Structure 1
Amino acid sequence: MMQNTQATLDQNLHLVDFSQVTPAQLKTQVITALDKSNAFLDTLDTQSVPNQAQAALNDIIEFDHIGLELDRSWGIVSHLNSVMSNDDIRHVHHELLPLLSAYGTRVGQHKPLYQRYQTLKNDSAFFDTLEPARKRATELAIQSFELSGVALPEEQQKTYADIQSELSTLSAKFSDNILDATQAFALPLSDEQLAGITDSGLAMLANAGEQYKAKLLDSKQKTQAEIDALPTPYYVATLDIPVYLAVMTHADDRNLRETLYKAYVTRASEFDEHKNGKGEPLNNSEVMEKILSLREQKAKLLGFNNYAEVSLSRKMADTVPQVESFLRNLASKATPSAQQDLKQLQAEANKHGIATNDLQPWDTAYIAEKVKQAKFSLSQEEIRPYFPLPKVIDGLFSIVNRLYGIKAVECTEHVTRWHDDVRFYQLFDTNTNGNTDDDTDNNGTLIGGFYFDLYARQGKRGGAWMSGFQSRYHYAGNTPEQGYQQLPVCFMVGNFTPPTDGKPSLLTHNEVTTLFHEFGHGLHHLLTQVSISDVAGVNGVEWDAVELPSQFMENWAWDSDGINLISAHVDTGEPLPKDKLDALLAAKNFQSGMQTLRQIEFALFDLLLHAKSPAPDYQGILATLDSVRDDVAIMQTPAYNRFANGFSHIFAGGYAAGYYSYKWAELLSADAFSKFEEDGIFNPQTGKAFRESILSVGGSLPAKTNFENFRGRSATIDALLRHSGFTDTQNNEVA
């Protein structure tokens, strides 16, 4: 273990002292940073636009540097609101949103700043001398100005600003309602309802029960005496994903599964009776209507027919018909496999007293687990002890060391964290000295740092994500003293089962692939060699290509050599036995047809929803989803299902008219990995090529160019169909 001193932590990491961070301080920092940035824009308003490209570039660089403080302070607020949400941080976050929205709109519509970018771009002789990253950043900035309404008349610019402000507030409300609805549900269970649930699942239910008791006491719903009278352990089902899946996958009680399923798919809908702290309903229906209406208004202001066209204007894909054709083509290839998947589930369901025509969505995870055990002798619970989180992390680090010559070293001292469960690591490039041992002084060249926050808890948004908090950046300044450098730092967040009963967190293989996925995003952010923040790491990468490195990384969690590196039984240290390894690999494409159709259902719904004009009301939203299900789904969905009301990706995230990106990028990642299949999955030269062509260049070149530089050709669908277990492998260039 590395013995850290404060001097060991490179100053270029600029780590946050989370022990000193308070919501009030963060609010002050954000407002101060906003004032500085606005003051700079004020000075540009009083100056004439430089005729010289170099002078224009100097102003651009200076503005970017001043904005660094705002990016940092707001980034901390946003992060803490996601991982440690409470009334104080939520209040500050929401109070600042309109200010940030107004500032973002001002920047996007600031003609003197826009004209400086145009001056730079229009001086072709000077522009041609710039590094590719600066050229790309300039081109993307000009596009961003145009999509922000810089060319609109003043009155329409004001309308645009109002729309942006309201959208930011509505998206935050959508997220709040989902988080509050998820955490408001708690269902104490009887002993009879526990049948079939695994030991690890029972431990989670018991832990949820203790949290529920504390909540009852804090809210004065029960006295201490009443709490003491409750049984120990006290089992409570919640909608937190690890607990929810433990019940849905293993509980024999079909009525319990249906109860939990209905609660989950009706969160934040008209069927959800919970209220927030202000006594307001958590129903997202009206929020969704307003978001879609405002997005359409914005699109029309900018001269587009609908919001889908706005979204696609900055993606690899060109048009709505192109994306729709891609999705429907993939659906047609997945449907035969999905139909076989369904027949397999129905046959197994019959053995458990469920009629073929009565298989329901709350049965599928439960029956699928039975099929795995019967067909593959495989249970996620049986293999969970072989994937203790510390071993998985060590193996993951070994894999990326072999692929890219990098080394992650945990820092245990002189680093403050927002929660005791969080861990921080420095990332070193060992190629600089070839050293891969644990010698403190020979780790190589420091290239960045990352935090792991991997366990589910109250006040934390569900799901898993990577947040590129701090980009690689260099500022020369006018003197050496003014120079400033920062290395990339990111947050990688999960919602895995916390350690219980003195044992580390034990992961299902699905959770293992999730960790690999987020680490792929992290590597994209950390391994960049670009020092212009706008196109460093994941910044500036087209949205439908940004999932390429993450989905690509998942392949090593499926490879037998990779699994040997990440598995060791929590008690014996034995790697995953061959019979279980063979079963896991044999089951890789189990239910892949149905899973693919489910992803396509979400993607088509998102695309068609945002391509509609006029924007649909709530009933129109539900009708659009029903229509898509009629086209591609092979299993009936209950009429009460309100999946859309919890579709945070498109209503509170960045995936509006872009959810197809997961499948688009999966095609790219499968094709990229096929190069490793040809050369050897740990081939260091192929790893070096992927790092240099994809990971290092970030958004400094178009994603299509980066892919073709690595693969030597355009992407084809062949590898995706093969990896998914679909048989039709006709060559078809699509990306």
Structure 2
Amino acid sequence: MNILTEKFSTPYHSAPFNQIKNEDYLPAFKELIEKSEEEINEIVNNSEEATFENTIEALAFSGEQIDVASNIFFNLNSAETSDELQKIAQEVSPILTEYSSKISQNEALFNKIKKVYDEKEKYNLNEEQQMLLNETYKGFVRSGALLNEEDKEKLKKINMDLSLKSLQFGQNVLASTNNYFKHITNKADLAGIPDAILEQYAEEAKERNLEGWVVTLQYPSYIPFMTYAENRDLRKEIALANGKKSFDNGEFDNQNLIKDLLNLKQQKAELLGYATYADYVLEERMAKSPTKVIDFLNELLTKAKPYAEKEIEELKSLAKADGIDEMQGYDHAFYAEKLRKAKYNLNDEELKPYFPLEQVQEAVFRLSKQLFGLSFQERNDIPKYHEDMKVYEVFEVFDSAQTDNQEPSTNNQQPTTNYKALLYVDYFPRKGKRAGAWMTSYKSQYKKDGENSRPHISIVCNFSKPTKDTPSLLTFQEVTTLFHEFGHALHGMLANTQYPNLSGTSVKWDFVELPSQFLENFCYEPEFLKTFAKHYKTGEVLPDEKIEKIEQSKNFMEGYQTLRQIGFGLLDMNYHTKVGELENLSVKEFEDNYTKATQLYPANPETAMSPSFSHIFQGGYSAGYYSYKWAEVLDADAFQYFKETGIFNPETAAKYKILLSSGGTKDPMELYKNFRGSEPKVESLLKRAFG
């Protein structure tokens, strides 16, 4: 028996991580693909006339088992990978790509979909059903359903190549990250680094059976070193190593892969009738066109650059006092921290004792209860893939007289609870885990046969591990990271739609960051911050003057950070609209050309960020990186509304909850206007960022 092909006999049919063996994956995928294809054949071979129910709806609910198995496998390949798992991924990816292409290019199936689509006026479809029909039809057309047989085969091969090469890109970045470490034996070389970080470096050395300290390129190790290390030569060495990730012409170099990936995407776009891959992608975004995105980014660039240049001048004067005539990129974090401390008398290490991970998590749980009526209860009987993880059962608490979208009452009536979701949290770095932080799901929410089947959501981060003497203490930036990912998780957990492919975060990509970035705003609100920013030893609340400084420092280096994000967005958009230029340019030359306007430090000929730009070459942000700034406009405008009505106002929260629970059932601008009463204004972002 293969555990992945059976109905899971775990609580809530959760992923049976403790029973899955690596050798289960390949045969399971093959068997589940067969099962899914049988479901498709049932739709195609149904002798009755094609209808919304027997075609569109049946297709929406097909393939659930293969989706769950894929979610388990690829999430583990990101969070708990191994050489064996990566090898399986290379075998599994083309099989799944071929399966996906087979469905999207099934002519008989598409003919049935097209018939329903062409005759949609005769069906009495509600708004969500109309959206499902439109998205299904469009999805098939965008996957090549209208192509001739020869072009369908070309597209199938392109998709398979893209799948394998993007997988290889990510594996190269991970290997390149893990391959480097700096072993330090002289404590003087670590001057300026706080004791808690030194303890972390010592633990890393011990794990490698080395004396002294070890710094790696994992973010919880790399960022503090660049922020606090007084040894400029070592800062330079480690920054160069970071900037050379997959850019060293060695075994894990990604430069040729970038060109291959971009050429394949351009071929795909042209085959489907689009001028560029960006045109293909943006047809399905709020922004709609590359021109609109580039205009949006350039407008922000024009407004933000003077602020950014002023910020860098302040840093340069600090560096000059230390005898540095020409500041470099690897000096930025160090002098930014010095300036932040001078301006606001704040540094991460002073704040960290007030932000133990468990307290921060408890705060976001409480906020979720206050705004949306959610409660969280740890479960120890649900399987996990690593001992560091925790799993929570999520409930919605409400009075029996309430509807789904009302908030809990404050009267003495006994509340009732509904099971809402499972939440997995995986917070600490490991060699088998890719860098960064992300939210994902193991199972989607949907309604079928009278049952509201609830989602299984996961948050993965890379925070410093607790040591024997100290709990995991977060920098303030890590606090906002946890809130960010939890915002995504709320989008998943509150999902309340009919169909799995319109549920939770299944929304336009430039809308998906709204819930995550919105939640970060609460971290800067004094009345909320005081409820959880408490010293892990003494219980002392973070002093008012420090809270005031956090609030004041919210926009510290905002110009620089804005330009950095604009640079990534412009680079991404130009990669996906001007791929032909790469025939005569190296990746490094192309990158320098299109980030030049946003660069505030001299370019280093030895480094490039594109070869480790996983968001666009491995993740789902190809021609979509701009969406972070786009969503900032949305989140600034949305939080402005909360501030106008009261940040815990139950009526405002109830309206926002409807936006979250609606997933992709409506056009995102319509959802936003229903919540806010008007379209978002870019002025809200500029006001928040620059006053």
TM-score (norm 1): 0.89
Q: Aligned residue for 2:600? A: 634
Within 1, Cα distance between the matches of 2:536 and 2:654?
34
For the pair 1:92 / 2:62, whether they are aligned, the reply is no
Q: Aligned residue for 1:308? A: 278
For the pair 1:237 / 2:215, whether they are aligned, the reply is yes
Q: Give the 3-state SS of the residue equivalent to 2:238 in structure 1.
A: helix
| Contact 1:288/1:618 (8 A) holds in 2 | no
C-alpha change, 1:66 and 1:24, in structure 2 (3 Å) is: farther
Q: How does 1:256-655 map to 2 (within 5 A)?
A: 256-270=234-248, 273=250, 281-355=251-325, 358-411=326-379, 413-433=380-400, 444-476=417-449, 486-539=453-506, 541-614=507-580, 616-617=582-583, 619-655=585-621
C-alpha displacement at 1:661, in angstroms?
0.4
C-alpha displacement at 1:123, in angstroms?
2.7
| Contact 2:50/2:112 (8 A) holds in 1 | no
Within 2, Cα distance between the matches of 1:159 and 1:558?
51
Within 2, Cα distance between the matches of 1:436 and 1:251?
52
For the pair 1:25 / 2:24, whether they are aligned, the reply is yes
For the pair 1:83 / 2:51, whether they are aligned, the reply is no
Q: Aligned residue for 2:634? A: 668
Q: Give the 3-state SS of the residue equivalent to 1:18 in structure 2.
A: coil
For the pair 1:253 / 2:251, whether they are aligned, the reply is no
Q: Give the 3-state SS of the residue equivalent to 2:666 in structure 1.
A: coil
C-alpha displacement at 1:409, in angstroms?
1.7
Within 2, Cα distance between the matches of 1:245 and 1:617?
35
**Larger CA deviation: 579-588 vs 549-558:** 579-588
Within 1, Cα distance between the matches of 2:130 and 2:437?
33
Within 2, Cα distance between the matches of 1:46 and 1:616?
47
**AA matched with 2:679:** S
**AA matched with 2:273:** G
Within 2, Cα distance between the matches of 1:117 and 1:533?
18
Within 2, Cα distance between the matches of 1:464 and 1:543?
17
Within 1, Cα distance between the matches of 2:499 and 2:230?
55
Q: Aligned residue for 2:646? A: 680
Aligned with 2:49 (options 31, 51, 70): 51
For residues 56-102 of structure 1, give each alpha carbon's deviation from its aligned partner in whole angstroms, at most 9, with x where no partner exists. x2234334433000000111110111111112222222211000000
C-alpha displacement at 1:680, in angstroms?
0.6
Q: Aligned residue for 2:126? A: 131
**AA matched with 1:248:** M
C-alpha displacement at 1:111, in angstroms?
2.1
C-alpha change, 1:617 and 1:211, in structure 2 (3 Å) is: farther
C-alpha change, 1:10 and 1:317, in structure 2 (3 Å) is: farther
* Number of residue-to-residue matches in the alignment: 675
Within 2, Cα distance between the matches of 1:631 and 1:372?
25
Within 2, Cα distance between the matches of 1:110 and 1:376?
62
Within 2, Cα distance between the matches of 1:436 and 1:354?
61
For residues 84-126 of structure 1, give each alpha carbon's deviation from its aligned partner in whole angstroms, at most 9, with x where no partner exists. 1112222222211000000111111112222232232333344
For residues 168-214 of structure 1, give each alpha carbon's deviation from its aligned partner in whole angstroms, at most 9, with x where no partner exists. 0000000000000000101101222111111121122112212322x
Within 2, Cα distance between the matches of 1:484 and 1:416?
24
**AA matched with 1:21:** I
Within 2, Cα distance between the matches of 1:474 and 1:94?
34
**AA matched with 2:14:** L
C-alpha change, 1:323 and 1:240, in structure 2 (3 Å) is: same
For residues 222-250 of structure 1, give each alpha carbon's deviation from its aligned partner in whole angstroms, at most 9, with x where no partner exists. xxxxxxxx53xx20111011000121011
Within 2, Cα distance between the matches of 1:568 and 1:262?
37
C-alpha displacement at 1:44, in angstroms?
5.0
C-alpha displacement at 1:623, in angstroms?
2.7
| Contact 1:198/1:381 (8 A) holds in 2 | yes
For the pair 1:715 / 2:680, whether they are aligned, the reply is yes
C-alpha displacement at 1:402, in angstroms?
1.1
Q: Aligned residue for 1:37? A: 36
C-alpha displacement at 1:400, in angstroms?
1.6
C-alpha change, 1:491 and 1:436, in structure 2 (3 Å) is: farther
Within 2, Cα distance between the matches of 1:432 and 1:93?
47
**Larger CA deviation: 30-39 vs 293-302:** 30-39
Within 1, Cα distance between the matches of 2:689 and 2:599?
18
Q: Aligned residue for 1:6? A: none
Q: Give the 3-state SS of the residue equivalent to 2:419 in structure 1.
A: strand
C-alpha change, 1:432 and 1:138, in structure 2 (3 Å) is: farther
Q: Give the 3-state SS of the residue equivalent to 1:156 in structure 2.
A: helix
| Contact 2:55/2:113 (8 A) holds in 1 | no
Q: Percent identity between the aligned chains?
A: 33
Q: Aligned residue for 1:3? A: none
Q: Give the 3-state SS of the residue equivalent to 1:566 in structure 2.
A: coil
Q: Give the 3-state SS of the residue equivalent to 1:614 in structure 2.
A: helix
Q: Aligned residue for 1:695? A: 660
| Contact 1:535/1:700 (8 A) holds in 2 | yes
Within 2, Cα distance between the matches of 1:709 and 1:115?
36
Within 1, Cα distance between the matches of 2:578 and 2:206?
47
Within 1, Cα distance between the matches of 2:601 and 2:662?
43
Q: Aligned residue for 1:276? A: none
Q: Give the 3-state SS of the residue equivalent to 1:611 in structure 2.
A: coil
Within 2, Cα distance between the matches of 1:69 and 1:677?
43
**AA matched with 2:312:** L
C-alpha change, 1:656 and 1:64, in structure 2 (3 Å) is: same
For residues 276-314 of structure 1, give each alpha carbon's deviation from its aligned partner in whole angstroms, at most 9, with x where no partner exists. xxxxx1010111110001001101101111111011011
For residues 608-644 of structure 1, give each alpha carbon's deviation from its aligned partner in whole angstroms, at most 9, with x where no partner exists. 1101153624835333321223223232221222100
Within 1, Cα distance between the matches of 2:499 and 2:354?
42
Within 1, Cα distance between the matches of 2:493 and 2:503?
9
C-alpha displacement at 1:705, in angstroms?
0.8
**AA matched with 1:724:** A
C-alpha displacement at 1:352, in angstroms?
2.6
C-alpha displacement at 1:270, in angstroms?
2.8
C-alpha displacement at 1:428, in angstroms?
1.2
| Contact 1:455/1:494 (8 A) holds in 2 | yes
C-alpha change, 1:615 and 1:66, in structure 2 (3 Å) is: farther
Q: How does 1:108-257 map to 2 (within 5 A)?
A: 108-127=104-123, 129-189=124-184, 190-213=186-209, 230-231=210-211, 234-257=212-235
Q: Aligned residue for 1:221? A: none
| Contact 2:373/2:408 (8 A) holds in 1 | no
C-alpha displacement at 1:43, in angstroms?
4.8
**AA matched with 2:442:** F
**AA matched with 2:566:** I
Segments of 5+ residues of structure 1 without an aligned counterpart are: 1-8, 214-229, 274-280, 477-482, 728-735
| Contact 1:425/1:449 (8 A) holds in 2 | yes
Q: Give the 3-state SS of the residue equivalent to 1:575 in structure 2.
A: coil
**AA matched with 2:423:** F
**AA matched with 1:305:** A
